[in-house]
Amino acid sequence: AQSVSQHNHHVILSEAASLELGCNYSYGGTVNLFWYVQYPGQHLQLLLKYFSGDPLVKGIKGFEAEFIKSKFSFNLRKPSVQWSDTAEYFCAVNAASSASKIIFGSGTRLSIRP
């Protein structure tokens, strides 16, 4: 069965600090990977996705993520965070063989000190 682990439950950073949120998944086959963000009081929205090709994917608002197949990881990065990045971030995985079943991690709450 697929599973997703997000190791950091709550991360607190100052503005302009660099960010890296960890995500590991367990599934041996071909996967599609996602990062979603939920800003306070707003809907979940897609930050970025990896289906195939270049393992370094760029998303909205300056976020990027790198798929490392050998480590079963898909870490989210941003070189310089802003106060407006305060949100909850969810990593998600879909096994290519299971249509639209997407498994989410438990989320990482990011707090940015102004």
| Residue linked to tokens 């697929």 | 2
Residue spans of beta strands (DSSP E) within the chain: 3-5, 10-14, 19-21, 24-26, 31-38, 44-50, 56-58, 64-68, 73-78, 87-95, 103-104, 108-113
Indicate the residue among 43 and 54 with the shorter CB distance to another protein.
43
- 106 lies in the site for another protein, by CB under 8 A: yes
Distance in Å, CB of 44 to another protein, minimum: 4
For another protein, the binding residue among 12, 16, 46, 60 (CB under 8 A) is: 46
Binding site for another protein (CB under 8 A): 6, 9, 32, 36, 43-46, 49, 51, 90, 92, 94, 96-107
